[in-house]
């Protein structure tokens, strides 16, 4: 589900372009005052700002749009054993602490967690109609039991 679809679903009046055109042009559009702002994923925003450091654009300091989203592994339907191995491997990494260690060593993930939990930001909780599985506390590194139960169930299938 695209950001545009989620925003429209939640009542925001938004316009957009196909992603390839949108991404290249939005930084320029903000810099030139054609639009006031546009949303970016908290995991990607640091790289985006670095990539567009030549433009007069900055991260907004006070607001956060938050809605469920997935990180994907794409696996051919011809390889169901690989899907099971991925669930099993993620479960093992979660149980050993390796998964948290892996995420903690990557700046973008550390920064994303800081942004998503910043108590000084006004958070707008949005619904994502395309998400079927959600967790009460999506910050799995702070509450691992729901993720563990989910991974264990999938690994056992």
pLDDT score, position 53: 92
Under the banding of pLDDT at 50, 70 and 90, the label for residue 70 is: confident
* Position 1 pLDDT exceeds 60: no
Looking at residues 136-148, what average pLDDT do you find? 80
Q: Return the C-alpha torsion angle 11, 17, 18, 21, nearest 10.
A: -140
Tokens of 136: 């009460």
At 124-133, the pLDDT tens digits run 999 999 888 7
Q: Which distant-in-sequence residues (6+ apart) come within 8 Å of 18 by Cβ? A: none
From the CB of residue 149, how many other CB atoms can be counted at a distance below 10 Å?
12
pTM of the model: 0.78
Q: Distance between CA atoms of 92 and 127, rounded to whole angstroms? A: 31
3-state secondary structure of 125: strand
Under the banding of pLDDT at 50, 70 and 90, the label for residue 134 is: confident
* Position 24 pLDDT exceeds 80: no
């Amino acid at each position: 589900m695209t950001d545009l679809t989620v925003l429209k679903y939640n009542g925001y009046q938004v316009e957009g372009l196909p992603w390839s055109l949108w991404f290249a042009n939005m930084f320029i559009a903000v810099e030139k005052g054609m639009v006031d702002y546009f949303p970016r994923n908290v995991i990607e925003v640091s790289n985006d700002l670095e990539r567009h450091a030549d433009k007069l654009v900055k991260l907004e300091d006070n607001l956060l749009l938050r809605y469920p989203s997935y990180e994907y592994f794409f696996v051919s339907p011809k390889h169901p054993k690989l899907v099971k191995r991925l669930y099993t491997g993620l479960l093992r990494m979660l149980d050993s602490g390796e998964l948290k260690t892996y995420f903690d060593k990557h700046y973008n993930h550390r920064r994303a967690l800081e942004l998503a939990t910043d108590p000084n930001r006004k958070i707008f909780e949005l619904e994502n109609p395309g998400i079927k599985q959600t967790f009460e506390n999506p910050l799995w590194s702070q509450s691992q039991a729901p993720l563990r139960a989910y991974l264990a169930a999938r690994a056992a299938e």
